[in-house]
C-alpha cells in the first residue's frame, strides 16, 4: 500500500483509443469494461509470480482539480473544438451550460465545425433540424441536444419547434 493516491506501482496497463464524439459517460463505461478485462487477465499471473510491479514515473503524473460551477459554463470566445470537447466530457454529468436570456441552457451534445465567422462569439448564426450554430472564438459550435430548466434533454429539432434563436447571443443574461 502507498500513502498517496494513485502513487503505487503498476502491475498492468492497457491503451484505449478515444473515439471522436465519445462522451465522458461512454468513456467511463468503456474504461470500466477494459479495466475489468485487464484485471481478469493480470490476476492469474500475479498469483503465480509471473507479473512484477513497475514503479510509476512521477514526472508523468497530472493533477485534476475539483470541478466548480464556472467550469460548466461555455466560454464562447474559445475555439469550437475546445467547446465540443467540454460538452462531451461533461456528458452525462455535470453537463455543460450557457446562459440564454434568463435561462440556463444545458448542452448535452454539440459538434465543432470549421468556418470563418465574423459575428461576436456566442451569436446564434442559424438554426435548423440539424442544430443551432453558434459563433465561437474560432469556428462554429453546432448544438444538437439541449435542455431547458425543468425539462428533459431534447434533440434540437424538437427544441426549436417553439423557439427561434437566430441572431440572439448566448452566454449573456
> Using an 8 Å Cβ cutoff, are 51 and 118 in contact?
no
Give the CATH architecture of domain 69-162.
Answer: Roll (3.10)
Residues 6+ apart with CB under 8 A from 25: 91, 92, 93
Q: Where in the chain is the domain with CATH 3.10.25.10?
A: 69-162
Q: Please report the pLDDT score of residue 158 as a whole number.
A: 94
* Across 112-134, average pLDDT: 97
Q: How confident is the model at residue 11 (pLDDT cuts 50, 70, 90)?
A: very high
> Is residue 123 a contact partner of residue 169, using CB atoms and an 8 Å limit?
yes
pLDDT digits (tens, 9 = 90+) for 17-34: 999 999 999 999 999 999
pLDDT at 42: 95
pLDDT at 141: 99
Please write the tens of the pLDDT for every residue from 38-82.
999 999 999 999 999 999 888 888 888 899 999 999 999 999 999
pLDDT of 124: 96
Amino acid at each position: 500500500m502507498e500513502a498517496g493516491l494513485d502513487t503505487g506501482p503498476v502491475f498492468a496497463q492497457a491503451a484505449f483509443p478515444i473515439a471522436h464524439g465519445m462522451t465522458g459517460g461512454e468513456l467511463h463505461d468503456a474504461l470500466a469494461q477494459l479495466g475489468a478485462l485487464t484485471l481478469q487477465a493480470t490476476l492469474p499471473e500475479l498469483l503465480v509470480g509471473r507479473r512484477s510491479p513497475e514503479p510509476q514515473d512521477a514526472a508523468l503524473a497530472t493533477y485534476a482539480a475539483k470541478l466548480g460551477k464556472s467550469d460548466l459554463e461555455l466560454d464562447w470566445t474559445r475555439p469550437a473544438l475546445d467547446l465540443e470537447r467540454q460538452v462531451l466530457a461533461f456528458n452525462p454529468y455535470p453537463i455543460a451550460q450557457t446562459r440564454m436570456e434568463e435561462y440556463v441552457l444545458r448542452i448535452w451534445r454539440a459538434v465543432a465545425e470549421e468556418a470563418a465567422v465574423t459575428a461576436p462569439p456566442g451569436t446564434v448564426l442559424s438554426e435548423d433540424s440539424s442544430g443551432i450554430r453558434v459563433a465561437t472564438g474560432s469556428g462554429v459550435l453546432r448544438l444538437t441536444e439541449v435542455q431547458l430548466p425543468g425539462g428533459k434533454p431534447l434533440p434540437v429539432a424538437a427544441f426549436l419547434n417553439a423557439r427561434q434563436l437566430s441572431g440572439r447571443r448566448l452566454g449573456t443574461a
